[in-house]
Amino acid sequence: MEEYCIHLAILCCIYLILAHSFNISFGLAGLLNLAHIATYAIGAYTYSILTIDYGYHFVAAFLLSGVGAALFSVFVGAIAARLRGDYFALGSLGFYFVVSALLINWREVTRGVLGIAGVPRPELLEIDFYENRNFLVLAVILCLGCLACMYLLQVSPFGRLLRAQSENEFAAMSLGRDVARARNLSFLISSAFAGFSGAIFASYLNYVDPSSFSLTEMILVLSMVVVGRPGSFWGVTLSTIFLVLLPEPLRFLDFPPSAIGPLRQIVYSAILVGVVYWRKEALFPRRRVV
């Protein structure tokens, strides 16, 4: 039971970073980047490949997983520069499928659907991180660090600019602000943090494969931000913890194990649909023209 609670706490840490990173581009900047889960995948794969194939140390691999994910966000920025609103969401979804096809088919690097096994946990300060209790401490520290950075960003002038341009890009431009650059930067930062959470995820499971980065996962992250209210730091924090723990009681009910997965997805989807319906005015305000 204790092991189980530790497991859930580690999952909370991973998803908190992931959901908050998505909150930067979606919640603050108003950009529905459906390729966000791809940057999470790139973080996880970068960490796995660097540690296994190149023998990188945890610290270096962890930082580079953020860098790798951030570099990939350049493509997302290029899509955003050309497409607006719903079209951007569709364009980013297309980009997600490209990445996901690469994960499956570029076998020399990603090992395809078999995934990469034996991803190491950190070797730091002579602490045994294969002990989940110790890993949890590390995850909590990394999570608090990432969340603190993202909180500061949110209340900074840059965070304010992101919110402003999401409401009225023309008005933001006429204040002399480079809106395109701000958007790119928001993708860069949000992808870097997604990359970090991917690295923690890979290191925790000791294993990555393409199925961990499916659209179902994207919907889960989207729900975390939508339920918590896009842009709200504490709202997203609470809803992430709530949604990570929510399906857990299902385990203790008398369902066949094969039904649990689909059941979780039904629960998440129902919550997402419910919240979107209930708050449709706030989530999709009527557009104004210049």
Q: Report the residue number, 253 or 282, with the smaller CB distance to another protein.
A: 282
Q: What does the DSSP assignment read for the chain?
A: -HHHHHHHHHHHHHHHHHHHHHIIIIIIT----TTHHHHHHHHHHHHHHHHHTS---HHHHHHHHHHHHHHHHHHHHHHHHH--HHHHHHHHHHHHHHHHHHHHH-HHHH-GGG-EE-PPPPEETTEETTSHHHHHHHHHHHHHHHHHHHHHHHHSHHHHHHHHHHH-HHHHHHTT--HHHHHHHHHHHHHHHHHHHHHHHHHHHTEE-GGGGSHHHHHHHHHHHHHH-TT-HHHHHHHHHHHHHTTHHHHHSS--HHHHHHHHHHHHHHHHHHHHHHTHHHHSPPP---
Q: Report the residue number, 125 or 290, with the smaller CB distance to another protein.
A: 290
Q: Report the residue number, 253 or 290, with the smaller CB distance to another protein.
A: 290
Q: Report the residue number, 1 or 290, with the smaller CB distance to another protein.
A: 290
Q: Report the residue number, 133 or 160, with the smaller CB distance to another protein.
A: 160
Shortest Å distance, C-beta 256 to another protein:
47
Shortest Å distance, C-beta 160 to another protein:
6
Q: How many CB atoms lie within 10 A of CB 201?
A: 27
- Which residues between 127 and 186 bind another protein (CB under 8 A)? 157, 160-161, 163-164, 167-168, 170-179
Pattern of binders to another protein over 260-289, x per CB under 8 A? ----------------------------xx
Q: Exposure pattern of 9-20 as b/e (b: 16+ CB <10 Å)?
A: bbbbbbbbbbbb
Shortest Å distance, C-beta 231 to another protein:
9
Shortest Å distance, C-beta 26 to another protein:
15
Shortest Å distance, C-beta 234 to another protein:
18
Shortest Å distance, C-beta 232 to another protein:
12
Q: Report the residue number, 213 or 233, with the smaller CB distance to another protein.
A: 233
Q: How far is CA 78 from CA 31, 177, 179, in A?
A: 13, 19, 13
Can you tell me the distance from the alpha carbon of 69 to that of 13, in angstroms, rounded to the nearest whole number? 19
Counting residues that bind another protein (by CB under 8 A) gives: 20
Shortest Å distance, C-beta 175 to another protein:
4
Is residue 34 within 8 A of residue 259, CB to CB? The reply is: no
Q: Report the residue number, 143 or 172, with the smaller CB distance to another protein.
A: 172
Q: Report the residue number, 39 or 154, with the smaller CB distance to another protein.
A: 154
Shortest Å distance, C-beta 48 to another protein:
41
Contact status: 1 vs another protein (CB under 8 A) = no
Q: What residues make contact with another protein under the rule CB under 8 A?
A: 157, 160-161, 163-164, 167-168, 170-179, 288-290
